[in-house]
Chain A
């Protein structure tokens, strides 16, 4: 299923110009997701019910570009990453790497060629490294499976040391076991393991959320350096808006399995157009705006998210609204490639559950987004 979009995101490719990587000049995006959908069966063996975790995701990551995907827990961020990494089979849609549809090319499972183009970094560096092996083992394995180690032992050795230097670790640590390293160091090894394959795209699923605050920024800086120096594209999945703003060129906001807004990070967070984005931004603790929590405003935003009756672009003659199709409205300067889904659009009722549906003041577990949430004052 494909959607006709008012502002096709694909064409402009890597025009953002922030990435200085080698491939930034070419037009083909590093990763393109078209109309991706995923539904999970629920209920018993013979049940035909399903929950729709993802629906009609269109997302493009240019070469040498970092795109952040933000949203609350349960909004489908990780499902999207798992589908793109081909750990889950998407129900519909296309995933293009370098312009080639990998779902068609390797129909049943991910091929080695695919794996060498796209690598993942997981959330928990304590769980993703086998405690029984030394660091050298993880990197050497990546190199040998994908044939990137060079011909001889000396070359492999050199490559291993290079990798450690790239991620800011001492080459001596190759002989360490995971328990001897701190969380930040382990996450750096996990990144080195992904880099060993020389991928074009790295999917990083909350890579800093398990790390200590003081080392978090170091890992973000490393990811930034990889983009700037090696032109690696990244999909950075997080629920931390401030870090998305710090790291990513563009930010996409996900709500209930669909993208609702996307744009240049600074612009998106300064001028959030969708009520859900506004809700997320207003919830970030920021001492600079003390007393930011306004229960009345919160209730209004909640209602606007759950059952919007008007769209900010209603009067714009150039951008028609639609309640049936997820029309994308352009926000502000076209250079920012900032779009927002028409507020009038109501997703299909069986969309995935989300925290907003179960308003804490209300006991119902209904996930029906059209249910009208009464504006209420809550504290």
Chain B
């Protein structure tokens, strides 16, 4: 287990929609790449070489400094057997580690429960976005879901501060336990107090934060900035999760421009995220893992690409051992699944197991549902 002075924190970022692996980490010397992608192949003089065979899409430039520092791990050909090409199904599989049955318990929900079995800290796990992501769902595990930290909280429509303070004070008194109203009422009251406690605490995060880093206007920038603020505020949050806007990486059409913009958004804001953590001097105990639910078809469809299988995942952090992990899937026709999909060679549960055992210091088997070979990026 990697040692840090403080408890290890895991940040997870899902690039929702199926990020195109082939155009993110490019086998730029392989002639098949250009054969398969007459419309979308990135010109050799534009890619950013990582080594003599692989290169980054130019829009990933902002992450090169971490590659050069040796803090960025690239995991090639990550997936699982009998891959599903359905967004929901595949996202669920990554979320629950259940490829065959329908799983309803998220791996991060189990992690949060492992850290805080009695749910004493309602902010142990925080989602940046709306709704409750399947990855964090588990019975009995409270998760705060923050759409926008600056406006998060109860009764945020009440604008005048004095009035809102009164309202929240009243809320606290209204929700204090009242006997004899029934099991469900009691549950709602307890949940209300939990929610208010969480909202109260989260509301103090922006005031504790001051930074020179500018994140720009995108949703991804907003979520990553909120992640830094929450980590900075020291609430004991150990699991932070966010998703790119729903399905945004699903580049079936207009991929040349669309995907480039997406990668730029992601790379720039992850750079902002790391730079900000370093500026606040709180980067030492954070590892960021970002992935997508599948990669995309080897051949382009003229304007974009369709759903595929084996994809790419990344780990970034002060204690990450940068480099290439796994093998680049072969592009030879005979080695593609169903005539167009890259074969995975790293099971995503290996990546999870590595993170759980070597970073979070917990037993991976029960969380991911089996023993998987670990990788050496931590």
Our verdict on whether A and B bind, yes or no, reads no
